[in-house]
Amino acid sequence: MDLSTVVARFDETLATGEFADVDASANGLQVGPDEMSVETVAFAVDAAEATIEAAVEAGADLLVTHHGLVWGGLDRVTGRDFSRIEPLIREDVALYVSHLPLDGHQELGNAAGLADHLGLVDRDPFGSLGPVHIGQAGSFESPKTTDEVRDALDELDGNEETQVFDFGPDEISDVAIVTGSGVDWLDEAIESGADALVTGEGKQKVYHEAREAGITVFLAGHYATETFGVRSLAERARKMGLEAVYISHPTGL
């Protein structure tokens, strides 16, 4: 399949253009020619030397990641940038990136995948950012204890231990999710009446804000909460007739 066709289908599926004004990431094709043939696609959370090397070893023509190489412009290709970009060009591996579009997609995205994992129902978009949403909210069919939710999050690929600020009700019914670094949406979770916010990593002030508001916050790891999108996109690639390889490289963060 032509690279331009793969890129166009991913862009259309993920509504990439809708996030252009709110995302620092240069979403879409970041490295690659206008045209090349794609048969094998590797998928990973991060574009880093380790995942690029793994993509080359897998014989990938295209690497798709959630975190890419270009954030708000690229002035010089030296140092770390050169070490990452050079093997892509040398080995004819293109790089496609989807950051916030792959967080907020309500079927294939990271938040949607995490909501699936937790078994949430009655789901709606959550985590407003300008005209778009980067998260999802839903409810348990039957209320869960904090320990039950923590146990489910501990099962995530790459999650070493879920940190919990247990300030909400004893039983949790309504949950808001913004994966990765999502504690900036705590106020939106509070305003929505959620019992808990699930995200990846926290900030110092969140402890006090959650305690004062009476809401529980689960920090399940930035990496661990953001494997769902690329894995879902890998399944979509297989349906397109492409060979898809998922590269797991947890960071412990």
Query: For the residues of 56-78, what is the DSSP string, one character each?
Result: HHTT-SEEEEEE-S-BS------
Supply the DSSP symbol for 222.
Answer: T
Residue-wise burial string across 184-203, b where 16 or more C-beta atoms lie within 10 A, e elsewhere: ebbebbbeeebbbbbbbbbe
Binding residues for a divalent metal cation: 66-67, 103, 222, 226
Q: Write the CA distances from 88 to 27, 41, 69, integer angstroms.
A: 17, 13, 12
48 close to 54: Cβ distance less than 8 angstroms: no
Cα separation of 63 and 250, whole Å? 17
Cα separation of 111 and 229, whole Å? 8
135 close to 182: Cβ distance less than 8 angstroms: yes
Cα separation of 240 and 97, whole Å? 18
Binding residues: 66-67, 103, 222, 226
